[in-house]
Structure 1
Amino acid sequence: MIQDISAAVIWCLALCLLPDLKRRKDQSILVAAVTIATALTLNVDRIYLAGDQLLGNRNFLDLIANIFMVVGIYFLSRAILRAADVSETVDIHNRAGLSVLGLVVVALVVSFSLVDAPRTSTAFMRDFGSQWPAAVYSSVQFLYIGAVVAITGFTCFRFRGEMAKPYFRVAFMFIVVGCALAVVLVLAVLGMDVLHLMGELEAMTRLSFVYDAAEVGAMVFLCMGLALPPVARRLERRSDARAAAVLVERLAGPWDRITSERSEIRLDLAQTAIDRHDAPKRRLHRMLVEIQDALFVDPHLAQLLTQDDLDVLREAEQHLGARFAGSGHRRPGLLSRKGETTP
């Protein structure tokens, strides 16, 4: 049941990330979500039994799932660290991280091959964890996960105050909590491995409840932290598009009066469909540029602008964060008194 919940939470994260697939240059977070979700899904009892039967009933699916998990954790950490720290040292750490990941995968394969596991088991460590190779197999995986999430959580906590957007700061705190719970999960696993080797099965069972709670908590907080920024950005873009669309409508009157004599460069509003969130903003920017150009050529056109028109122009510029000088256009006196222009 725990695996089902964890897998469902991670798949929900992947679905939250899909709409921004084309906007993101770095797809590490999506790769991580899909890889970890796949690892957890392979451990769902029904899927595990069917899949391992196809592989010869030797628990190879457990090895495959665990390799997917450590690979997913690597990409998850890389995505979070890049978001937190944009310095060049992150790329250096990524190269070192890939080398460590390779060693971990080799260690998993070698230790798994030494475990005597003659039958399919949906509880691999409970059934075979009394063997030293199995304890090494488990410990290598979770020591790696613990080290990676501890570094990731510390980095997020360190850089949380430098995030410009409030939702990024909240997201980083969710990730910090998720990483802390993941460390608790790792400590629980290591404790269970030791107790199993010692034959303390009752104590191991009690500790497994800590593991279950920490796993669900870590997945929930990590997914909330990772899903919050893209969801918040989409909501922000939609709100921005609605505001820009309103300004386009309000600006249509002054734009028409100012540019009526310059039809050859006018924007064809009828052919500019708002089919994307940034389309209204692009349209608004184009209208402002055309008004600027017309006033620059003929400053007397400013007399056609009312105070309401000037207020709309001011709102439009503020909405766009207009820096017309940086775009190669000389900025006329749109916001000066009617009939006056600035040099």
Structure 2
Amino acid sequence: MTALQVIPVLVLWSVVGVRLLGLAFGWKPGILGAVFLVALAATLNIDPVYLAVDRYLGGWNLLNLIVHLLMGIGMTDLSRLLLRVTGRARRIKVLICVGAVLAAAQMVLLLISNTQGSAASFTDTFGDQPTIALYQGTFFAWFGMISGYTGVETLRRDRAGESRTFRIGFDLLSAGCFVGVAAAALKMFEISTEIRGGGENYDDALILGYRILLAAMVTGFAVGFILPTIGRIRSALRARAVRRSDLDALRPIVRRLMETSEGQRSMGAASISLESRTSKTQLYRWFIFIGDIRVLDPKLLSQQENRTIDEIGTRIEHHHSPARNTAASGV
């Protein structure tokens, strides 16, 4: 069953890798921190890793609490970011407050419980203790609650203007949330059987089912995040290619205008350089520089050069026009 833990972890780290790649395109960190925390928690929860690290920490299953806190913080932040993007973040502050209270309760419940002896199957080993049943129950109740709320609100979002990859990605995220609710419900059932003392008959089946659902949830989340990200990377690459072409078209115009008296007067304020770059700043400076000279002496530019500049100006204006499908820039 370790494979069912490892595969989702690899998928999560692939999302982290894709988001790190996005930083090279000037994106905001967005979900990077949240996914990193979830990926780290999932990594620490792999049975061999968990046993090795927890024994190093003293063998009191303190790592279970650490995993819960990392997962809780990461999932809460993911929910906050998703709901902010979709414009449905009406009650997220309430969920954050509930999560903070439950995190404090988790710490207290684990400290007053007897959890000596590292155990990867934590519920199976210690679930007959009322405090541990409550400890596990509160975490998975919150997990199911925030997953369900995020799934419902994401599904109810305004889809107007969404790109195809954005729409499919967020629908998969919503589906992943509902699978997470099913996983939490199954885990709650396992906890209830342990506290009643009848869980030994189907512990393995419950654990397997839970891990399958969790793997499906993580995969849905990963694909849901990666699809819009891939779309954004493609758009960024296309925009960079267009920007390079525009700069190549403007370079001879800028070089010629720099030698004119009007160009000499405008160069200082515009910080003009002919270095080969593909940055937006370079393009904007050149465009503003040429625009100033067009005002000072329109005759310095030919009809063809004016057409080229107008076309580039239209592209710049279109690139900065508000669009619904770019709302994910903060995710």
Deviation digits for residues 116-167 of structure 1 (CA, Å, limit 9, x no counterpart):
3332212111222233333222211111011111111112111150454433
Deviates more, 1:246-255 or 1:189-198: 246-255
* CA separation of 1:296 and 1:175: change in aligned 2, threshold 3 A: same
| 8 A contact 1:160–1:172 mirrored in 2 | no
Deviates more, 1:116-125 or 1:222-231: 222-231
| 8 A contact 2:257–2:263 mirrored in 1 | no
Please give the alpha-carbon distance, in whole angstroms, between the structure 1 residues aligned to 2:160 and 2:290: 38
Cα drift, residue 216 of structure 1: 0.8
Residue of structure 1 equivalent to 2:204: 205
Cα drift, residue 269 of structure 1: 4.8
Residue of structure 2 equivalent to 1:220: 219
Cα drift, residue 58 of structure 1: 1.6
| 8 A contact 2:124–2:203 mirrored in 1 | no
Residue of structure 1 equivalent to 2:263: 263
State percent identity of aligned pairs: 23
| 8 A contact 2:193–2:199 mirrored in 1 | yes
Cα drift, residue 182 of structure 1: 0.7
Please give the alpha-carbon distance, in whole angstroms, between the structure 2 residues aligned to 1:251 and 1:53: 64
Cα drift, residue 296 of structure 1: 2.1
Deviation digits for residues 81-132 of structure 1 (CA, Å, limit 9, x no counterpart):
121117xx64xx4443332122111222233245433322121112222333
Structure 2 counterpart of 1:293, one-letter code? D
Q: How does 1:43-54 map to 2 (within 5 A)?
A: 43-54=45-56
Deviation digits for residues 254-284 of structure 1 (CA, Å, limit 9, x no counterpart):
55556652331357553x342xx6x1x4333
Please give the alpha-carbon distance, in whole angstroms, between the structure 2 residues aligned to 1:160 and 1:210: 34
Residue of structure 2 equivalent to 1:283: 282
Check if 1:139 corresponds to 2:105: no
SS at match of 1:159: coil
* CA separation of 1:202 and 1:28: change in aligned 2, threshold 3 A: farther
* CA separation of 1:293 and 1:109: change in aligned 2, threshold 3 A: closer
Residue of structure 2 equivalent to 1:177: 175
| 8 A contact 1:152–1:179 mirrored in 2 | yes
Please give the alpha-carbon distance, in whole angstroms, between the structure 2 residues aligned to 1:118 and 1:257: 78
Residue of structure 1 equivalent to 2:323: none
Please give the alpha-carbon distance, in whole angstroms, between the structure 2 residues aligned to 1:238 and 1:143: 43
**Higher gyration radius (CA):** 1
SS at match of 2:116: coil
Residue of structure 2 equivalent to 1:327: none
Residue of structure 1 equivalent to 2:121: 123
For structure 1, list consecutive stretches of 5 or more residues without a partner in the other structure.
324-343
Please give the alpha-carbon distance, in whole angstroms, between the structure 2 residues aligned to 1:158 and 1:181: 17
Please give the alpha-carbon distance, in whole angstroms, between the structure 2 residues aligned to 1:46 and 1:236: 41
| 8 A contact 1:28–1:76 mirrored in 2 | no
Residue of structure 2 equivalent to 1:242: 241
TM-score by length of structure 2 reads 0.82
Residue of structure 1 equivalent to 2:250: 251
Please give the alpha-carbon distance, in whole angstroms, between the structure 2 residues aligned to 1:147 and 1:293: 58
Select the residue among 66, 70, 73 that pairs with 2:72: 70
Check if 1:297 corresponds to 2:293: no
SS at match of 2:82: helix
Cα drift, residue 217 of structure 1: 1.1
Deviation digits for residues 234-272 of structure 1 (CA, Å, limit 9, x no counterpart):
3322211111211222334455556652331357553x3
| 8 A contact 2:8–2:215 mirrored in 1 | yes
Residue of structure 1 equivalent to 2:148: 150
Structure 2 counterpart of 1:150, one-letter code? G
Residue of structure 2 equivalent to 1:316: 312
Cα drift, residue 321 of structure 1: 1.5
Select the residue among 190, 193, 196 that pairs with 1:192: 190
Please give the alpha-carbon distance, in whole angstroms, between the structure 2 residues aligned to 1:287 and 1:53: 62
Cα drift, residue 174 of structure 1: 1.8
Residue of structure 2 equivalent to 1:98: 96
Please give the alpha-carbon distance, in whole angstroms, between the structure 1 residues aligned to 2:68 and 2:117: 18
Deviates more, 1:200-209 or 1:213-222: 200-209
TM-score by length of structure 1 reads 0.79
Higher RCO (CA-CA < 8 Å; seq separation 6+): 2
Structure 1 counterpart of 2:317, one-letter code? G
Select the residue among 75, 80, 83 that pairs with 1:81: 83
Cα drift, residue 17 of structure 1: 2.1
For structure 2, list consecutive stretches of 5 or more residues without a partner in the other structure.
320-331
Q: Could you say what the CA RMSD is over the residues aligned between the two structures, in angstroms? A: 2.8
* CA separation of 1:197 and 1:163: change in aligned 2, threshold 3 A: farther
Structure 2 counterpart of 1:104, one-letter code? L
* CA separation of 1:117 and 1:289: change in aligned 2, threshold 3 A: closer
Deviates more, 1:153-162 or 1:260-269: 260-269
Residue of structure 1 equivalent to 2:40: 38
Structure 2 counterpart of 1:177, one-letter code? A
Please give the alpha-carbon distance, in whole angstroms, between the structure 2 residues aligned to 1:130 and 1:163: 52
